[in-house]
Amino acid sequence: MSREKREGGGLLLPRRQFVRTVAGSAAMLAGSLAGAGTARAANPDNLPPNEPEWAKALGPGVDATPYGMPVSYEAHVVRRWVPWLTASSESSVNFTPLQDLHGFVTPNGLCFERHHGGRAEIDPADHRLIIHGLVERPIMLTVDDLKRMPSESHFYFCECAANSGMEWRSAQLNSVQFTHGMVHCAQYTGVSLRTLLDYVGLKPNAKWVLAEGADAAAMTRSIPIEKALDDCMVAYGQNGEALRAEQGYPIRLVVPGFEANMWVKWLRRLEIGDQPWYTREETSKYTDLLPDGKARLFTWVMEAKSVVTFPCPEKPLNGPGYYTIRGLAWSGYGRIKRVDVSVDGGRNWQTAKLVEPVLPKCLTRFELPWRWNGEGALVVSRAIDETGYVQPTMYELQKVRGVESIYHNNGQQVWEVKPSGEVENVRLKYAS
């Protein structure tokens, strides 16, 4: 078990989760520590000039794992959830481990899950998509029917409107996975929704589409027809394979740039109407309460946002020297134009390099070289999208929206790097 030994690494789980899980979840704690990024004690027998053990014996054959899994040393890279956040696991959320991802694609098994009635597991032979309402001819399609139609493939980010929702009042969760992990980015393959709507023929008064899931919650959202005819898709593929059950297998709606709740999973029905339905998820939930007691309705677009994923609370620094600050940026309005990074809390900024490709409504990776002098630092990023919109500070957001609106928190995230190399989620005053 020498590989499990570590030279250092602090307690990186959020305190509240640690309090609740420390007794029974040693494995999870170990997993989190393994992701800390600090140097692990190596076995000198495997280091030069010695031949390592794997160079002196055969490994498993080609078919040992017919569906490949990550190597055991990456077993800590998993989705995590906060048990106290929700009343039950069936109506809950878990989080993408952004701190351990590379590039801009999220592996399918790591895409955050948000269910309202548990994960439906559907036999595609027993699944149908009905399109009806204000159409020339209603239709009922099988999954095979959809696969016979022309397909499209596009990379898009998918972000829950409540991502960073716990951070409105102040710095709350000491983890980038928990503050920003309700986002993923994948290549979706399926049929353009416009193709389907053209096929059934819209009546002149068609203004809205109700999308409904086949799950226990029968998730329903109203989507304006302009968006439905623009870039929405009925997807059956994700990152080259069939959708995972937790992502809506056999088919889900893809609504690029809009809040993930509208990306209805396990899609079974599209009703065309002349007005919105005002369903529970677009009135009681997913509305943004402001300090004057009024709430914004139909706040669909996820505005430009970014976060530094290294360093972060899960990935501390290991002594002064050269590092590459890394992060992710995205905008529901299109491409990321620029990302600036500051290591002094926003007093001075440098423009980071955007790693190609930079695609619209897609996660974009940014990097900035950094020689850390070992002193305390405040690392923060701000995204600018192609509309010229600049990601605001939390102070600017709170001035307008207060702290009780839950959704659409796209404020700048500040990490404090301590002289020890540990990293903490902090909130700055900015102005008085």
Partner 1 sequence: MSVSNMRPEGLVFGLAALVLLPFSGVAGEDFGLGVTPTPEQIAGWDKDVRPDGVGLPPGRGTAAEGEPLYLEKCAVCHGEFGEGIDRWPVLAGGFDTLKHQWPEGRPEKTVGSYWPYSSTLFDYIWRAMPFPEPKSLTPDEVYAIAAYVLYLNDIVGYDEELNQDNFAKIAMPNRDGFVPDTRPDVPVGGEPCMKDCPVDTTIIGRAAPLQVTPEDKKEPAVD
Question: Interface residues for partner 1 in 45-64 (CB under 8 A)?
Answer: none
Rank residues 41 and 297 by Cβ distance to partner 1 and give the closer one: 297
Match 């399109």 to its residue by tokens: 131
Window 154-173: residues binding partner 1 (CB under 8 A): 162, 165-166, 168-173
Rank residues 77 and 295 by Cβ distance to partner 1 and give the closer one: 295
Rank residues 41 and 290 by Cβ distance to partner 1 and give the closer one: 290
Strand order in the sheet with 80-81: 80-81, 92-95, 114-115
Window 98-157: residues binding partner 1 (CB under 8 A): 116-117, 130, 132, 136-142, 145, 148-150
Which position among 8, 16, 242, 323 is part of the footprint of partner 1 (CB under 8 A)?
16
Residue 84 CB contacts under 8 Å (≥ 6 apart), including other chains: 16, 17, 20
CB of residue 97 to partner 1, shortest distance in Å: 17
Radius of gyration of the chain (CA): 23
Rank residues 104 and 421 by Cβ distance to partner 1 and give the closer one: 421
**CA nearest neighbour of 110 among 363, 384, 304, 308:** 363
Of the candidate spans 42-50, 68-76, 102-110, 202-210, the one that interacts with partner 1 by CB under 8 A turns out to be: 202-210
CB of residue 80 to partner 1, shortest distance in Å: 15
Window 205-234: residues binding partner 1 (CB under 8 A): 206, 210, 212, 216-218, 220, 225-226, 229
Which position among 349, 358, 367, 386 is part of the footprint of partner 1 (CB under 8 A)?
349
Antiparallel, parallel or unpaired: β 208-213 and 183-192: unpaired
Window 240-299: residues binding partner 1 (CB under 8 A): 268-269, 271, 273, 275, 277-280, 283-285, 287, 289-299
DSSP assignment letter at 148: H
Rank residues 103 and 419 by Cβ distance to partner 1 and give the closer one: 419
Match 């000491």 to its residue by tokens: 174
Q: Does 24 bind partner 1 (CB under 8 A)?
A: no
Of the candidate spans 44-52, 98-106, 254-262, 420-428, the one that interacts with partner 1 by CB under 8 A turns out to be: 420-428
Rank residues 138 and 369 by Cβ distance to partner 1 and give the closer one: 138
**CA nearest neighbour of 341 among 395, 422, 413, 397:** 413
Question: Would you say 160 and 112 are in contact if contact means Cβ atoms under 8 Å apart?
Answer: yes
Antiparallel, parallel or unpaired: β 377-385 and 336-342: antiparallel
| E strand or H helix that includes residue 33 | helix 26-34
Of the candidate spans 40-48, 78-86, 254-262, 323-331, the one that interacts with partner 1 by CB under 8 A turns out to be: 78-86
Burial of 125: CB neighbours in 10 Å, binned 0-12, 13-18, 19+? exposed
Window 383-402: residues binding partner 1 (CB under 8 A): 384, 387-390, 392-393, 396-397, 400-402
Which position among 152, 367, 386, 424 is part of the footprint of partner 1 (CB under 8 A)?
424
DSSP secondary structure, 383-415, as one string? EEETT--BPPPHHHHHHHHTT---S---PPPEE
How far is 235 from 251, CA to CA, in rounded Å?
A: 5
Q: Does 29 bind partner 1 (CB under 8 A)?
A: no
How far is 253 from 264, CA to CA, in rounded Å?
A: 5
Rank residues 217 and 262 by Cβ distance to partner 1 and give the closer one: 217
Rank residues 367 and 386 by Cβ distance to partner 1 and give the closer one: 386
Which position among 30, 242, 301, 354 is part of the footprint of partner 1 (CB under 8 A)?
301
Residue 25 CB contacts under 8 Å (≥ 6 apart), including other chains: none
CB of residue 360 to partner 1, shortest distance in Å: 18
Rank residues 214 and 235 by Cβ distance to partner 1 and give the closer one: 214
Q: Does 375 bind partner 1 (CB under 8 A)?
A: no
Q: Please report, for residues 347, 394, 398, 403, 424, the alpha-carbon distance to residue 430 in angstroms, rounded to integers and kept in the order given.
A: 10, 9, 12, 16, 18
Number of neighbouring beta carbons within 10 Å of residue 61:
6
CB of residue 378 to partner 1, shortest distance in Å: 6
Rank residues 40 and 255 by Cβ distance to partner 1 and give the closer one: 255
Q: Does 203 bind partner 1 (CB under 8 A)?
A: yes
